[in-house]
């Protein structure tokens, strides 16, 4: 956990607290601060620490989903923009690469001070510019090679809205053969997709099958993974991991082959990937024992 993660996390706590009517963020912030002051030592995994802080903040708020309205609007906005994304795919020389880029552009649907955009409607203004930026790290050739010899792909979803932009990529993968199993969150956390959210957007019908993490967690905590997901992870040929939190949670575990699809929205994650902030990243990693 980088020192920069601490103020970022606290800003997020205040932001989400103010989504709840009548809240100014004091009690959730106090709850999160107690977790951070007791547990921050520079060695703890950032996603694990964020999970504990958000659990304390949600308890202080007395709600299990402060982001519900933002999640619903995110899906609406992304659905309205989906025809524009398909136009990019239809014009592309490489549909898989274009679909990867589209799924990464959706990763800006992540709200809070200084994170990405502040409201789903802002995606209308930035969509074309982000698509025109292209991929700053492009491991799509390695990803394609592995997918073409795969039987099963495990797809770790991230944010609502973003998941709508994942649909063309899922369909491109299915088109060349593998089944694609979607992974949603076991409980609402931030703007991440749950089973309920997947049903609302319709992405649950796109996947061949959907499992959930069985946990409240920022990213994915392998120590608390449910039996269904554990079986899918052992049986899959490649994992597609969306977003920064999944990268933070998994990048030091040796899990692989895995492709991290994300926008590097903060300096610590950018440094860990060896890229610049606000670059679009498709980074392929083998299993740690096969390097």
- Based on its alpha-carbon atoms, the radius of gyration of the chain, rounded to whole angstroms, reads 18
Q: How many helices (H) and strands (E) does the chain have?
A: 13, 7
Q: Are 207 and 270 part of one and the same domain?
A: yes
Helix (H) or strand (E) holding 57: helix 46-61
Q: Are 143 and 11 part of one and the same domain?
A: no
The beta strands (E) that lie in the chain are given as 137-138, 152-156, 179-184, 209-212, 238-242, 258-263, 280-285
Q: Are 84 and 139 part of one and the same domain?
A: yes
Contact 30, 60 (CB under 8 A): yes
Q: Are 36 and 85 part of one and the same domain?
A: no
263 SS3 class: strand
Sheet containing 238-242: give its strands across: 137-138, 280-285, 258-263, 238-242, 152-156, 179-184, 209-212
What pLDDT sits at residue 291?
Answer: 38
Q: Are 174 and 194 part of one and the same domain?
A: yes
Contact 96, 140 (CB under 8 A): yes
Q: Are 134 and 182 part of one and the same domain?
A: yes
Domain boundary among 13, 42, 61: 61
Helix (H) or strand (E) holding 113: none
Q: Among 71, 95, 87, 73, which residue's Cα sits nearest to residue 127? A: 87
Domain boundary among 23, 43, 61: 61
Q: Are 57 and 144 part of one and the same domain?
A: no
Tell me the C-alpha distance between 29 and 134, whole Å.
37
Tell me the C-alpha distance between 121 and 6, whole Å.
28
Burial group, residue 101, by CB count within 10 angstroms (0-12, 13-18, 19+): buried
Q: Are 204 and 101 part of one and the same domain?
A: yes
What pLDDT sits at residue 21?
Answer: 84
Separation of CA 237 from chain center: 20
pTM of the model: 0.95
Q: Are 179 and 37 part of one and the same domain?
A: no
Separation of CA 90 from chain center: 25
Domain boundary among 42, 61, 80: 61
Total domains, the chain: 2
Q: Are 279 and 137 part of one and the same domain?
A: yes
Tell me the C-alpha distance between 85 and 238, whole Å.
25
Length of the chain: 291
Q: Are 55 and 144 part of one and the same domain?
A: no
The token duo for 129 is 């510019």
The series of mean pLDDT values per 10 residues for the chain, 291 residues long, is 90 92 89 90 86 95 94 98 98 98 96 83 97 98 98 98 98 97 97 98 98 96 92 97 96 94 96 96 84 38
What pLDDT sits at residue 255?
Answer: 94
Q: Are 46 and 74 part of one and the same domain?
A: no
CATH number of the domain residue 81 falls in: 3.40.50.10880
Domain hosting 110: range is 68-290
């Amino acid at each position: 956990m980088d020192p920069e993660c601490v103020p970022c996390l606290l800003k997020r706590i205040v932001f989400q607290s103010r989504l709840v009517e009548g809240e100014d963020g004091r009690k959730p912030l106090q709850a999160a601060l107690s977790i951070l002051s007791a547990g921050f030592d520079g060695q703890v995994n950032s996603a694990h620490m964020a999970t504990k802080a958000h659990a304390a903040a949600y308890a202080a708020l007395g709600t299990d989903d402060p982001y519900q309205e933002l999640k619903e609007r995110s899906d609406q906005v992304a659905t309205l923009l989906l025809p524009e994304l398909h136009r990019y795919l239809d014009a592309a020389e490489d549909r898989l690469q274009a679909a990867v880029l589209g799924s990464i552009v959706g990763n800006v649907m992540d709200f809070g001070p200084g994170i990405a955009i502040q409201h789903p409607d802002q995606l209308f203004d930035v969509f074309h510019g982000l698509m025109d930026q292209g991929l700053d790290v492009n491991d799509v050739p390695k990803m394609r090679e592995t997918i073409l010899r795969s039987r099963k792909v495990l797809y770790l979803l991230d944010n609502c809205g973003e998941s709508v932009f994942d649909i063309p990529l899922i369909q491109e993968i299915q088109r060349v053969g593998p089944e694609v199993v979607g992974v949603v969150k076991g409980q609402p956390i931030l703007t991440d997709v749950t089973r309920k959210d997947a049903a609302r957007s319709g992405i649950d019908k796109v996947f061949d099958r959907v499992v959930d993490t069985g946990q409240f967690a920022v990213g994915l905590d392998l120590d608390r993974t449910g039996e269904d997901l554990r079986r899918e992870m052992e049986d899959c040929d490649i994992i597609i991991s969306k977003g920064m939190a999944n990268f933070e949670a998994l990048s030091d575990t040796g899990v692989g082959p895995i492709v991290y699809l994300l926008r590097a929205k903060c300096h610590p994650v950018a440094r860990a990937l060896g890229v610049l902030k606000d670059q679009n990243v498709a980074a392929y990693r083998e299993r740690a024992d096969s390097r």
